[in-house]
Chain A
Amino acid sequence: MSILGEVVESVKAIVKGLRVTLSYIPKEKLTNQYPDEPVQVFSAYRGEHYLNVDENGKERCVACFLCSAACPANAIYIEADEDLRPYKERFTKEERFAKVYNIDYGKCILCGFCVEACPKDAIKHGHNFEMAVTNFADLIKDKTYLLKNRERESQLPVIIIDEITREKYAKAK
């Protein structure tokens, strides 16, 4: 084959190889410039958990141990206690509550079984994915942290994509 022929063949091969790449150049950009820009995540994204409260701000968890039973990674540790004060005075929705509620993110695989199991809507997946720490012990998050996580939701560097945007996104694709 002549030199020219080889050059033509190579250019063809390169164009063929870059076809997909090149076809995307004129299209809308999906890449996020994280951490300079916020990341987009779906509303059903399974990020770090938060512990939910009821309409009066009382903790919903009754320490039933069901989430820890459902957890395939054995990541949840709970100790239950009782608070016999009237609803108004106590911090919890029901008399039974979790005195200790720890999730070990060194074990958790963010599978969502705990959320599924909870009969009280007390544990939810948040959208935080920035969970790296520099110390193993810090992977264990306690109840105070998980309760705060609910408030942190609104300050997360993420854009939560709801169902409608999601459909649009699917169509655009």
Chain B
Amino acid sequence: MGDIVNLKINGKDYQAPKGKLLIEVCLENGIHVPNFCYYPDLTPQAACRMCLVRIEKMHKLATSCTVEVGEGMVVHTETEELLEARKGMLDFILGNHPLDCPVCDKGGQCELQDMVFEHGTVYAHYNVKKQATPEWRLSPFIAYDPQRCVRCYRCIRECTEVMDVNALGKIFRGTHEVIGPYGLGMDKRGMDKGYSLDCEQCGNCVEICPVGALLSVDSRFRSRPWDMKETVTTCTHCGDGCQINLGVRGNDYVRVASKDMKGINGEFLCVKGRYGCSFISSQERITKPMIRRGDKFEEVSWEEALRFTANKLKEISAKNKDSVAILGSPRLTNESSFTLRRFAEKGLGTSNFGQVADSDWDRFFANLTAPIATHNQVKKAKNILMIGGDATENHPLSAMVIRYAVRKHNANLMVVNSRRTKIARRQAKLFLHIRPESEAAIVAAIFESESELARLADLAKVKVEQLQKLREKVLGSEELTIVVGPEVQGATLEAVAQLAGFLNKERAVNYLPLAKYNNSIGSVDMGLKPNGHNLMKAFGSQIQALYLAGSNPVEQYGKDWENALRKLSFLAVAELFMTQTARLADVVFPVNSFAEQDGTFTNNATQVQRVQRALEGAGQVRPDWMVINALAREMRVDIGAKGSSVSIFRDVTAELASYNGITYERIKKESAVQTTRALAQTKDSSIICKDLAAECSKINTSAELNKTNVAQGEGLFRIGTMTRHSPVMQEAFGESKEEKAETVNA
């Protein structure tokens, strides 16, 4: 690699790196080569033979998807002979194709349709009777129509290589060959009865299927590609912030797709992103402001709800400004979080504001000593140290890029986790299975002198040799990507952030924090500290009134929160649904979902990405920032309110150094713009060691190792405030099933 070769394609000279696939060189240079089975980053298959080209001095036509370019190659891609050959291949494919484009959901964006269109009249040498096969529901999300399948095996390779799930395989032989779930054996009856696809249900196989053989059940027959409006926006389900194509017909959700997207995720999405967004069109959305009258809620006008709230807040804050608290959430847009903070600081003058979240990312960024890695950079990482976090279940895109690094160039992945996560079981070169909540001991082992290893290994209940190996690898690696999970908190997290500085500046170290929610990092940047749990303790005493936006702590954190919220004399909640928390409120404001407003999210790679309005909110919903602005106006306080998300974002960039120079236009051009973080001073390692020692002393040394494997879907299939209202998610993983799955901290 590294060498450049010269070759001639269709009489023109090109240069390309040696060893690159011919089809990739052609496609990159705008030379069209038809293909089915070729797909970027998947292993070559050469199954469809549509990509045939003539290479001079080769005695047969060659499949360009398997040929690597070489010096002096002379290639033809558009000759009569090739057209004939490709037509012949299409004839094979169409031999048993049902030609039911009118009923096929892929119609209008089908690669086979395009191919036939491109090649003109295709022969029909095979007039044998077609084998009609019924469609199979493989899972609540995915259907398979064997007759439409062109046997390109993209789906199998996607599932095996990209997803590492291995759910799909070839079943039967010859003309009877179908794609189906592994483990099905030869029991043909099992296929049409019940669901049989036991996998992550990511739908990526559906996405890359060139024809309508694999289909999404949730968007079945809903629309046609030309008939819906597709908006590129950011997923709201986790911190990775995948770019999604949200298809809307009229004002109704149709589907989420990702194909041909230039976003950070390419075609990748997970089950929540792809199938969990239909909650936006749920009938259960609240559409009007409500005020509590006794036990019941009464729908009122915005004016009345705002006046009522404004009066209450004024009344309570008149005695003591700090008795009013404002809590945001890691789900709100940057614009809304920013407005919330301004309202708290400028409007109410309270010092009690923040967000309901259990993470310490503010402390992480305050101690950060190396830049944050983007997902694309992680793909190229050589050494990855992963402390805590279950990326497969909670940060599917991060998991995918880590798997990519391991798959493509055998990256050295070291995992430290108290659970047997999938990535630890299957990708890790070194897995330190530690005692619950003993990450501090492992981090300390890197900072401390070697003599401490035995004691620390004992604390974390790992073998000394293993810890020794980890320490050597970390201290010795030239390049290192440190992935840190959300359960790493407090002084341990600070120490992890300091690790790069400790390791010496010369080395290329970068971080990927696995922040849980879509805007965990953005909301912290906007100044909402994750201090909700502390403030909660003062409810009913120092704090009498609370404005809570976008959080459902009663469901997430249980009884404690419910009791605390009941102690308040006034509670206003801004929500999408009538959640358990909203039911306790005195006033409920209906707000826009992510799909109904403009704004930005900052993902876990600190990239700012756009949230775009894909449809109109039903009823009288408003964005969170607009509610706050109106409330401030009603209270007659000036918070410097701006009337659009663009102008609020301008304020954000003016105020926050790390957001400087980011504009909506720039995000539109670059899709994701990474913020630039000021790096912290490297602290003296003795201070860090002391902090870590304090953390280590908290480790419960009687705790046993958690030996059970993390089950597939533990995080992915968890039903939450939003996914509960997505019909297909509810059908598949609904409440009754949820009880079976052991609930981890939400």
Contacts of B107 on A, CB cut-off 8 Å?
64
Contacts of A81 on B, CB cut-off 8 Å?
221
| Residue in A closest to B221 when the chains form the complex, CB atoms | A80
- How many A-B pairs fall under 8 Å by CB? 30
| Residue in B closest to A63 when the chains form the complex, CB atoms | B221
Q: Is the CB of B227 within 8 A of A65?
A: yes
* A141 interfacial contact with B, CB 8 Å: no
Among B221, B223, B226, B227, point to the contact of A96 (Cβ < 8 A).
Answer: B221
Q: Is the CB of B102 within 8 A of A69?
A: no
Contacts of B222 on A, CB cut-off 8 Å?
80
Within the assembled complex, what's the spacing in Å between the Cα atoms of A96 and B227? 17
Contacts of A104 on B, CB cut-off 8 Å?
none
Among B103, B226, B227, point to the contact of A94 (Cβ < 8 A).
Answer: B103
* A82 interfacial contact with B, CB 8 Å: yes
Within the assembled complex, what's the spacing in Å between the Cα atoms of A81 and B221? 6
* A148 interfacial contact with B, CB 8 Å: no
Q: Is the CB of A64 within 8 A of B226?
A: no
Q: Is the CB of B221 within 8 A of A119?
A: no
Q: Is the CB of A64 within 8 A of B227?
A: no
Q: Is the CB of A62 within 8 A of B103?
A: yes
Contacts of B224 on A, CB cut-off 8 Å?
64-65, 69
Contacts of A96 on B, CB cut-off 8 Å?
102-103, 221
* A102 interfacial contact with B, CB 8 Å: no
Within the assembled complex, what's the spacing in Å between the Cα atoms of A62 and B100? 10
* A161 interfacial contact with B, CB 8 Å: no
8 Å CB interface, B210-232 against A? 220-224, 226-227
Contacts of A120 on B, CB cut-off 8 Å?
102
Known: A80-B222, A81-B221. A119 touches B102 (CB 8 A): yes
Contacts of A94 on B, CB cut-off 8 Å?
103
Within the assembled complex, what's the spacing in Å between the Cα atoms of A65 and B222? 10
Q: Taking the nearest CB of chain A, how far is it from the CB of B515, in angstroms? A: 40
Encode B191-224 as 1/0 by CB contact (under 8 A) with A: 0000000000000000000000000000011111
Q: Is the CB of A62 within 8 A of B102?
A: yes
Q: Is the CB of A95 within 8 A of B226?
A: no
Within the assembled complex, what's the spacing in Å between the Cα atoms of A46 and B101? 27
* A147 interfacial contact with B, CB 8 Å: no
Q: Taking the nearest CB of chain A, how far is it from the CB of B112, in angstroms? A: 16
Within the assembled complex, what's the spacing in Å between the Cα atoms of A96 and B737? 31
| Residue in A closest to B252 when the chains form the complex, CB atoms | A79
Within the assembled complex, what's the spacing in Å between the Cα atoms of A160 and B527? 77
Within the assembled complex, what's the spacing in Å between the Cα atoms of A69 and B107? 12
Contacts of B220 on A, CB cut-off 8 Å?
82
8 Å CB interface, B88-108 against A? 101-103, 107
Q: Is the CB of B221 within 8 A of A82?
A: yes
Within the assembled complex, what's the spacing in Å between the Cα atoms of A80 and B226? 15
* A128 interfacial contact with B, CB 8 Å: no
Contacts of A63 on B, CB cut-off 8 Å?
221
Among A68, A95, A119, point to the contact of B227 (Cβ < 8 A).
Answer: A68
Within the assembled complex, what's the spacing in Å between the Cα atoms of A157 and B226? 40
* A139 interfacial contact with B, CB 8 Å: no
Q: Taking the nearest CB of chain A, how far is it from the CB of B389, in angstroms? A: 41
Within the assembled complex, what's the spacing in Å between the Cα atoms of A77 and B101? 19
Query: Which of B107, B220, B224, B226 has its CB near the most chain A CB atoms (within 10 A)?
Result: B224
Encode A84-121 as 1/0 by CB contact (under 8 A) with B: 00000000001110000000000000000000000110
Q: Is the CB of B226 within 8 A of A69?
A: yes
Within the assembled complex, what's the spacing in Å between the Cα atoms of A80 and B223? 8
8 Å CB interface, B342-361 against A? none
* A66 interfacial contact with B, CB 8 Å: yes
Q: Is the CB of B227 within 8 A of A69?
A: yes
Encode B218-254 as 1/0 by CB contact (under 8 A) with A: 0011111011000000000000000000000000000
Q: Taking the nearest CB of chain A, how far is it from the CB of B439, in angstroms? A: 50
Within the assembled complex, what's the spacing in Å between the Cα atoms of A35 and B102? 42
Within the assembled complex, what's the spacing in Å between the Cα atoms of A95 and B220? 12
Known: A80-B221, A81-B221, A82-B221. A119 touches B226 (CB 8 A): no
Q: Is the CB of A95 within 8 A of B102?
A: no
Within the assembled complex, what's the spacing in Å between the Cα atoms of A120 and B107? 15
Within the assembled complex, what's the spacing in Å between the Cα atoms of A94 and B101? 13
Within the assembled complex, what's the spacing in Å between the Cα atoms of A21 and B222? 60
Within the assembled complex, what's the spacing in Å between the Cα atoms of A96 and B221? 8
Within the assembled complex, what's the spacing in Å between the Cα atoms of A96 and B212? 15
Q: Taking the nearest CB of chain A, how far is it from the CB of B541, in angstroms? A: 55
Within the assembled complex, what's the spacing in Å between the Cα atoms of A62 and B107? 13
Contacts of A68 on B, CB cut-off 8 Å?
227
Within the assembled complex, what's the spacing in Å between the Cα atoms of A62 and B105? 12
Q: Taking the nearest CB of chain B, how far is it from the CB of A95, in angstroms? A: 7
Q: Taking the nearest CB of chain A, how far is it from the CB of B580, in angstroms? A: 34
Within the assembled complex, what's the spacing in Å between the Cα atoms of A33 and B300? 62
Within the assembled complex, what's the spacing in Å between the Cα atoms of A63 and B223? 10
Encode A48-85 as 1/0 by CB contact (under 8 A) with B: 00000000000000111110110000000000111000
Among A64, A69, A80, point to the contact of B101 (Cβ < 8 A).
Answer: A64
Contacts of A95 on B, CB cut-off 8 Å?
103
Contacts of B226 on A, CB cut-off 8 Å?
65, 69
Contacts of A62 on B, CB cut-off 8 Å?
102-103
Contacts of B103 on A, CB cut-off 8 Å?
62, 64, 94-96
Within the assembled complex, what's the spacing in Å between the Cα atoms of A163 and B528? 79
11 CB-based A-B contacts, threshold 8 Å = A64-B102, A64-B107, A64-B224, A65-B224, A69-B224, A69-B227, A80-B221, A96-B102, A96-B103, A96-B221, A120-B102
Interface residues of B (CB under 8 A from A): 101-103, 107, 220-224, 226-227
**Lowest 10 A-B CB distances belong to which pairs?**
A64-B102, A80-B221, A96-B103, A65-B224, A119-B102, A62-B102, A62-B103, A96-B221, A65-B227, A69-B226
With A62-B103, A64-B107, A81-B221 already in contact, 15 other A-B pairs whose C-beta atoms are closer than 8 Å = A63-B221, A64-B224, A65-B223, A65-B224, A65-B226, A66-B102, A68-B227, A69-B226, A80-B222, A94-B103, A95-B103, A96-B102, A96-B221, A119-B101, A120-B102
